[in-house]
Every structure is written in structure tokens, then in C-alpha cells.
Amino acid sequence: MTDVVIRLPIQPGEEAHQFGIYLSEFMERSLSWAERRVAEADAPFLMIRGDPASGEEAKVLIFQENRIARAFSSGWERRRAASGFAAG
């Protein structure tokens, strides 16, 4: 399975707080799907790390499935827009 890597610049403060809320909600919504896939998975369905080398606040998300990565990305973009954060 090929990893799908998404790098998101996240501003400290309120945007980082909203990202944390969205991430928690996404994980909760995805839990039943992830539990069904655990037997055939070769890695967790989502891994998250910071990117200190970039010189800015950024999160790197590594998904196991393109469909899940697209769902996360589009949902986060909608949340950012609704919260009034500039597109990154």
C-alpha cells in the first residue's frame, strides 16, 4: 500500500486549536472504518508528525488510503474557511 502524505501549514493559536478539534472529530468518525481494516493493514491508517525542519508550524499527515486523505483534506479546508483562516 502506498502512503499518501499531506503537509499542512498550521498557524499557532486558534488555527492550531481548531485543527486539533477537527482531527479529533475526524478520528472519531473514522474509528469504525479503521477497526474493520486493522486485520489487513500493514500500518496505522493515519500517522501525524510535526515538521520542524520547514521553519514554520506544519503538520505532516500520512494516510494509508487516498480516499481517506481526500476526505480529511477537504473537510479541513471547509473548517478553515468557515473559521475565517486564510487558505494556505
Cβ atoms 6, 61 nearer than 8 A: yes
The pTM of this model reads 0.80
Give the model confidence (pLDDT) of 45-85 as tens digits.
Answer: 788 988 777 666 889 999 888 888 999 999 999 999 998 88
How do residues 5-42 score in pLDDT, each as one tens digit?
A: 999 999 888 999 999 999 999 988 887 766 666 667 66
Residue given cell 478539534 in the structure block: 21
Give the residue from 6, 35, 34, 8 showing the smallest Cα distance to 19: 8
The confidence score (pLDDT) of residue 28 equals: 87
* Main-chain phi, psi angles of 78, to 5 degrees: -65, -45
